Structure 1
Amino acid sequence: MLAADRNTPSKDGKLIAVPVAAGAKIFAGALVAANATGYATRGATATTLTYLGRAEEFADNTNGADGDVQVMVRRAQAFLWKNSGTDPVTQASLGKLAYIVDDETVSKTNAGGNTQSAAGIVIGVDASGVWIV
């Protein structure tokens, strides 16, 4: 409990360096997620991922251990991802969760027996894809 002023450190949180999972290769512009152990990996159909945002750079940790490489990830911003061709996000999904299919695609549901992790909230759908925040 404070009894005096405190100089509390802060970070912007919009651009963060994230340690990359062993064996992972992440391309600039890719949908990035944290795996079950908290390391960055490219988006994929899996139930253990946590959506982080967009990779700002290429990161190759295919020959390294967890955390040997870091990737800069942009967060707290809407990104345009491809819409699934088999389970497309529609206007009715506005304000609802979309789900990670791969490192550039999202879907309306976690189709296939709950096999996908949440990507974020849909804030727009158009001919170019799905805007997720």
Structure 2
Amino acid sequence: MALTADRDTPQVVPSYSFLREFPVAAGKTIYAGGLVVLKNGYAEPGSTATGLVAVGRAEEYVDNSGGQNGDVTVRVRRGIFRYGNSADTDAITRTDIGSQCYVVDDETVAKTDGTGTRSVAGKVFDVDDEGVWVEFTN
């Protein structure tokens, strides 16, 4: 289930962790802690779709639900963050560490591309009982 409120998303801080700002897509709301993607150069919450570029974790809540492309910006941190694991045959396990994982929504990643319906989130850094640690390098 996609976010409906801000999320405290844990992180591992690699040496390349840094903040960037991206213009937010028209009609989109991004929650702090959510997985952020770029679609046609504009930030939006992660979702099941192709052609998205995952860029990291939102550092703040931004509401552009009534705005046009780029009316507001969102701060996004690049690094390693823990997100929810998908279920059943799409669940990520320790044997997937080092492999790509795929965006399901702004708080969940999966093992597969969903038969060509999902974009790459990043690489699986680790897996624990609370979720999947995803390394974002875009």
Task: Give TM-score scaled by structure 1 length.
Answer: 0.86
Which structure would you say has the larger Rg? 1
In the TM superposition, residue 59 of structure 1 has moved relative to its aligned partner by 0.5
Seen in structure 2, the aligned counterparts of structure 1 residues 20 and 101 have a Cα distance that, compared at 3 Å, is same
For 2:68, the equivalent position in structure 1 comes to: 65
* 1:25-104 alignment runs, 5 A limit: 25-35=29-39, 37-75=40-78, 77-86=79-88, 87-104=90-107
Instruction: Give me the identity figure in percent.
Output: 50
Matched, 1:16 2:14: no
Seen in structure 2, the aligned counterparts of structure 1 residues 51 and 95 have a Cα distance that, compared at 3 Å, is same
Partner of 2:95, secondary structure, is helix
For 1:6, the equivalent position in structure 2 comes to: none
Deviations 1:56-98 (A, max 9, x none): 00001111110001000001x1100000013101111110100
Q: Tell me how many residue pairs correspond in the alignment.
A: 119
Task: Give TM-score scaled by structure 2 length.
Answer: 0.83
Aligned structure 1 segments of 4 or more residues deviating by more than 6 angstroms: none
For 1:124, the equivalent position in structure 2 comes to: 126
Mark the runs of 5 or more structure 2 residues left unpaired by the alignment.
Answer: 1-15
Mark the runs of 5 or more structure 1 residues left unpaired by the alignment.
Answer: 1-11
In the TM superposition, residue 13 of structure 1 has moved relative to its aligned partner by 7.3
Using the alignment, how far apart are the partners of 1:110 and 1:13 within structure 2? 26
Bigger proportion of residues as strand: 2
